[in-house]
Amino acid sequence: MNPSTPRHIADPVVTIEDFSIDYVGQVTTHAVKNVKLTLGRGEILGLAGESGCGKSTLAYGITRLLKPPALISTGHVDFHSREGWTADLSTLSGDELRQFRWDKISMVFQGAMNSLNPVISIRAQLEDVFTAHRPGMSREERVRKCGDLLERVGVERSRLSSFPHELSGGMRQRVMIAMAMALDPQVMIMDEPTTALDVVVQREILDEITRLRSELGFAVIFITHDLPLLLEISDRIAVMKAGEIVELNSAYELYTNPQNEYTKRLLASFPSLTGERGDFIRTGVSDDRLNETTQTEIDQEVATS
């Protein structure tokens, strides 16, 4: 966290306007409500908030990966290319979207490492990205690029011939990050990309992501429950509550001078930040109840749920 972190919003790469997403059913859930957000070029924007507040729905909505019963009810998402053109993602056809994803905006989701095909080598799976999106690339160049990508995320080139089951969870998740970087995207959306990994591996991967961001200049929307981690890696942080962005500021300002009551309680719920006990983000127990209930009662409820 750096007090002089620059504001990147003067040069936006993504602008989100009045974006709302509902899960339509007998009872409709308004999961994302009128979100307005700008992602600056090369910026790491953290998205924080308790479980169920709509973070993943927003991420899937931006990339148009939502499945029914999810429905975008209002708003749009514009992508501003570094080459100078703008695309409204809501107007792209299925084929255009498939080209667009990975190429311009790529994603790493929690447990992505489990989506690697177990019976296909890492080389073949990485090569597939280039075959699909860069059909003119020679085989020699593809293989070289695949090796370069692996090295970039801290996995030895020799692992190209490995199969996913021969790699640790951390290595597989690195492969997924390499895959997401393959086409030099301008935005990466990462939804709990390291949550399933142990703390040491998580730390190594995060260092890698921040280093690569500086080197390659992509912007990141980073979603996690882990507010201390977000404070450390983000330029700005958006705090989400019940589908709305309730506060958006630089990580430093948000930490030192939170404005919204919910943000204050979110910060207070991390002992490492404030010395106080409390973990309503991880438990998902609603914040109103946290006021009324002792931590012991919450722990008991979580243990029995």
Ligand X SMILES: Nc1ncnc2c1ncn2[C@@H]1O[C@H](COP(=O)(O)OP(=O)(O)OP(=O)(O)O)[C@@H](O)[C@H]1O
Per CB under 6 A, residues contacting ligand X are 23, 29, 31, 49, 51-57, 69, 225
How far apart CA 105 and CA 174 sit, in angstroms, is 18
Q: How far is the CB of 286 from ligand X (least distance, A)?
A: 11
Cβ closest to ligand X, residue 113 vs residue 146: 113
Cβ closest to ligand X, residue 14 vs residue 53: 53
Q: How far is the CB of 54 from ligand X (least distance, A)?
A: 4
Q: Where are the alpha helices (DSSP H) in the chain?
A: 55-62, 94-103, 122-133, 139-152, 169-181, 199-216, 227-233, 251-256, 261-268, 271-274, 280-283, 287-292, 295-304
How far apart CA 47 and CA 51 sit, in angstroms, is 12
Cβ closest to ligand X, residue 31 vs residue 237: 31
Around Cβ 293, how many Cβ atoms within 10 Å?
A: 15
Q: How far is the CB of 11 from ligand X (least distance, A)?
A: 28
How far apart CA 260 and CA 171 sit, in angstroms, is 39
The CA angle 233-20-49, to the nearest 5 degrees, is 35
How far apart CA 267 and CA 276 sit, in angstroms, is 10
The residues near 182 (Cβ < 8 Å, ≥ 6 apart) are 102, 126, 129, 130, 145, 149
Q: How far is the CB of 69 from ligand X (least distance, A)?
A: 6
Q: How far is the CB of 20 from ligand X (least distance, A)?
A: 12
Cβ closest to ligand X, residue 34 vs residue 56: 56
Cβ closest to ligand X, residue 3 vs residue 69: 69
Q: How far is the CB of 19 from ligand X (least distance, A)?
A: 13
Q: How far is the CB of 195 from ligand X (least distance, A)?
A: 9
Nearest Cα neighbor of 188 from 14, 9, 36 is 14
Cβ closest to ligand X, residue 211 vs residue 289: 289
How far apart CA 143 and CA 134 sit, in angstroms, is 13
* DSSP 8-state secondary structure symbol assigned to residue 7: P
Cβ closest to ligand X, residue 171 vs residue 227: 227
Q: How far is the CB of 285 from ligand X (least distance, A)?
A: 13
The residues near 55 (Cβ < 8 Å, ≥ 6 apart) are 47, 48, 49, 191, 223, 240
Cβ closest to ligand X, residue 70 vs residue 175: 70
Are 213 and 46 contacting, i.e. CB atoms less than 8 angstroms apart? no
How distant, in Å, are the alpha carbons of 9, 146, 248, 304 from that of 104?
A: 18, 18, 25, 44
